[in-house]
Amino acid sequence: MSSDWIVDALQQVLQREGSEALHRQLYHQLRDWIRQGRLSGGSTLPASRQLARKLRLGRNTVLAAYDQLQAEGYLESRHGSGTYVSDVFTGRDAPSPAPGARLPGLSQRGQQLSHHSNLPQGVLGAFAPGIPALDAFPQQQWQRLLSRHNKQPCLDWLGYCHDGGLPALREVLCDYLRQSRSVLCRPEQIVITQGAQQALELCARLLADPGDTVWLEEPGYAGAQAAMTAAGLDVVPVPVDAEGLNPALAPPSRSPRLIYVTPSHQYPSGVVMTLGRRLELLKLAEAHRSWIVEDDYDSEFRYHSQPLASLQGLANGGAVIYLGTFSKVMYPGLRLGYLVLPEALIDPFRASYARLYREGHYAIQAALADFIAEGHFARHIRRMRELYQIRQTLLRETLHQRLGEQLPLSPGEAGMHLVASLPDTVNEQQLSTVAAREGLWLRPLARHFWGPATRRGLVLGYAGVPEAELCRAARRMAELLEQEMQRQGR
Ligand SMILES: Cc1ncc(COP(=O)(O)O)c(C=O)c1O
């Protein structure tokens, strides 16, 4: 068949002033015609010199398109007899999924994970929990350190590393954890991760097998539930009382392989685990041969006393894995967290981390090591502690002025959020939906229960909300709550 039509058709579609290079246009057009069957297997293409002349293109432009199509298997060149369309598509339909075509779909685990996601849509508004005061972060010092290390990265950081994170960061972090949290550790026991979430995922995958039981606090942290679910573990909720997770209330099921706790400041209730309960938990874990995962995510922000000593320190080398994050003390987008491991886990965790995720971002880790060593970190934490205390007080007072005793709030000895208890008559989901339309993120406490919620309430993040906005948002929230209570009372 004559190939004249190819030249005519190409004349019409090639855009000489277009943003796409001409050889790419030529490649795409010929590829589409081959896939659609318009150019069938075995048909001959014009010789490159001839096509270039007729289209008034450079010959290299045509050759570049032909070479690419040949490398991808669409064309074949037979010595002495020209360029042919290969016959891979002859008798076969080109893959062209129609919009809305039935795709294979998610795994059951994927469905479970995405269904339970409580990520708010759109921009985060006032009261979004877990967000620090991003506007008060010392950007200047941080950017200076970042550019120092980005400009002159050590060559070793550019390859594959297997150290468990930058040694300089592990060293300053180790000093900090020993002093401020009574964590028992050497720098070698630390593995730097991409946030606490990745640390949790690693614990779930390396310390338990699919089907094993994990105890999670209820109400509890949805990120931990997601990590455990993703690893195929059987999540058993254990109620939290005034002393923390209460093992006596655990269902008499199989022994837990993992126990996840936030003893310094239970998430989200704010309860501090008592010493008696800590000792009980350590004993129980020993009896069941369980690992305890201690998540110490925000205890830098304690307002009336020093940060509390860790469970890991109390366990004195026992089966406790301590994990922490820089998301609250720096900013969440940094994606840096850490694990402090018992000696026996150091090598397996380092090796598995390298196999599953690969280490990286060493220049950022170096900047963070300097940020800590030069005192900016401690200064920032001190300033944020004062600021968050002011913001918490403001939130409390504003809500109290409007609602008095109708809205009991959690003690707020630490952390970046409060829990407001709601009467059973209030539909917290309805309230949250209405508030979201006005940019207020009132997260229902029910999102922190793994089964039916036994308490109603709202989780109110205050740390990241500037004071003027906080007052306005708290007043508006009080109005919405009053309206909801009146609606229910009718
Ligand atoms: C209980 C708890 N653990 C850990 C984290 C932090 O996780 P990441 O370091 O992945 O940001 C959060 C964040 O909200 C949290 O609430």
pLDDT band at 484 (very low <50, low <70, confident <90, very high): confident
**Residue range(s) defining the domain that contains residue 269:** 134-378
Q: How far apart are CA 338 and CA 131, in angstroms?
A: 19
Same domain, 350 and 392: no
Question: What tokens were used for 481?
Answer: 């709550």
Question: Is the CB of residue 311 less than 8 Å from the CB of residue 282?
Answer: yes
pLDDT band at 37 (very low <50, low <70, confident <90, very high): confident
Q: Ligand 1 test: best mutation among 197, 228, 323, most atoms within 8 Å of CB?
A: 197
CA of 325 to the centre of ligand 1 (A): 7
At 189-218, the pLDDT tens digits run 999 999 999 999 999 999 999 999 999 999
Residue 287 falls inside a structural domain:
yes
Q: Of 97-101, 290-294, 334-338, 444-448, where does mean pLDDT reach its minimum?
A: 97-101
Q: What is the pLDDT of residue 94?
A: 65
**Across residues 20-36, what is the average pLDDT?**
94
Q: What is the pLDDT of residue 457?
A: 96
Q: What is the pLDDT of residue 101?
A: 76
Residue 296 falls inside a structural domain:
yes
Q: What is the pLDDT of residue 306?
A: 79
On the question of pLDDT at 253 being above 80, the answer is: no
For residue 450, the domain's CATH number is 3.90.1150.10
- Provide the phi-psi class of 198: left if phi over 0, else alpha when psi is between -120 and 50, else beta: alpha
Q: What does the mean pLDDT of the chain come to?
A: 92
Q: What is the pLDDT of residue 68?
A: 96
At 439-468, the pLDDT tens digits run 999 999 999 999 899 999 999 999 999 999
**Across residues 136-154, what is the average pLDDT?**
94
On the question of pLDDT at 122 being above 70, the answer is: no
Atom of ligand 1 nearest to the CA of 195: 9
On the question of pLDDT at 247 being above 90, the answer is: yes
Query: Which of the given ranges, 223-237, 306-320, 422-436, has the highest pLDDT on average?
Result: 223-237
Angle between helices 346-356 and 195-207 (to 10 degrees): 110
Q: What is the pLDDT of residue 112?
A: 85
**Across residues 119-137, what is the average pLDDT?**
83
Same domain, 365 and 435: no
Same domain, 196 and 337: yes
Q: What is the pLDDT of residue 487?
A: 81
Q: What is the pLDDT of residue 124?
A: 72
Torsions phi, psi for 217 (to 5 deg): -65, 145
At 217-229, the pLDDT tens digits run 999 999 999 999 9
Q: Residues near ligand 1 with C-beta < 6 Å?
A: 130, 195-197, 221, 223, 262, 267, 295, 297, 325, 327, 332, 337
Stretch (H or E) spanning 312: helix 311-315
pLDDT band at 407 (very low <50, low <70, confident <90, very high): very high
Q: Ligand 1 test: best mutation among 117, 200, 327, most atoms within 8 Å of CB?
A: 327
Q: Is the dihedral of CA 248, 252, 255, 260 positive or negative?
A: negative
Atom of ligand 1 nearest to the CA of 325: 9
pLDDT band at 3 (very low <50, low <70, confident <90, very high): confident
pLDDT band at 490 (very low <50, low <70, confident <90, very high): low
Q: How far apart are CA 197 and CA 221, in angstroms?
A: 11
Q: What is the pLDDT of residue 400?
A: 95
Same domain, 402 and 461: yes
Same domain, 398 and 447: yes
Q: Which residue has the higher pLDDT, 101 or 449?
A: 449
For residue 63, the domain's CATH number is 1.10.10.10
On the question of pLDDT at 113 being above 90, the answer is: no
Residue 405 falls inside a structural domain:
yes
Residue 360 falls inside a structural domain:
yes
Q: What is the pLDDT of residue 22?
A: 95
Residue 277 falls inside a structural domain:
yes
**Across residues 330-348, what is the average pLDDT?**
97
**CA nearest 298: which of 376, 364, 365, 381?**
381
Residue 117 falls inside a structural domain:
no
Residue 104 falls inside a structural domain:
no
CA of 125 to the centre of ligand 1 (A): 18
Q: What is the pLDDT of residue 91?
A: 59
Q: Of all protein residues, whose CA lies closest to atom 7 belonging to ligand 1?
A: 196
On the question of pLDDT at 115 being above 70, the answer is: yes
**Across residues 77-92, what is the average pLDDT?**
81
- Provide the phi-psi class of 473: left if phi over 0, else alpha when psi is between -120 and 50, else beta: alpha
Q: Ligand 1 test: best mutation among 127, 325, 326, 335, most atoms within 8 Å of CB?
A: 325
Calculate the dihedral angle through the C-alpha atoms of 208, 213, 217, 219, rounding to the nearest 10 degrees.
120
Same domain, 388 and 321: no
Same domain, 356 and 263: yes
On the question of pLDDT at 93 being above 70, the answer is: no
* CB-CB neighbours of 337 under 10 Å: 22
Torsions phi, psi for 449 (to 5 deg): -105, 145
**Across residues 279-284, what is the average pLDDT?**
96
Residues in contact with 307: Cβ distance below 8 Å, sequence separation at least 6, in sequence order = 180, 181, 264, 299, 300
At 366-393, the pLDDT tens digits run 999 999 999 999 999 999 999 999 999 9
From residue 196, alpha-carbon distances to 109, 335, 397 in Å are: 21, 8, 33
Domains: count for the chain: 3
Residue 125 falls inside a structural domain:
no
Q: Which of 323, 355, 378 is the last residue of a domain?
A: 378
Question: Is the CB of residue 457 less than 8 Å from the CB of residue 445?
Answer: yes
Q: What is the pLDDT of residue 304?
A: 86
Question: Is the CB of residue 368 less than 8 Å from the CB of residue 190?
Answer: no
Q: Which of 46, 66, 85 is the last residue of a domain?
A: 85
Q: Is the dihedral of CA 265, 269, 273, 274 positive or negative?
A: positive
On the question of pLDDT at 119 being above 70, the answer is: no
Q: What is the DSSP string of 133-191?
A: -GGGS-HHHHHHHHHHHHHS--GGGGS---SSS-HHHHHHHHHHHHHHH-----GGGEE
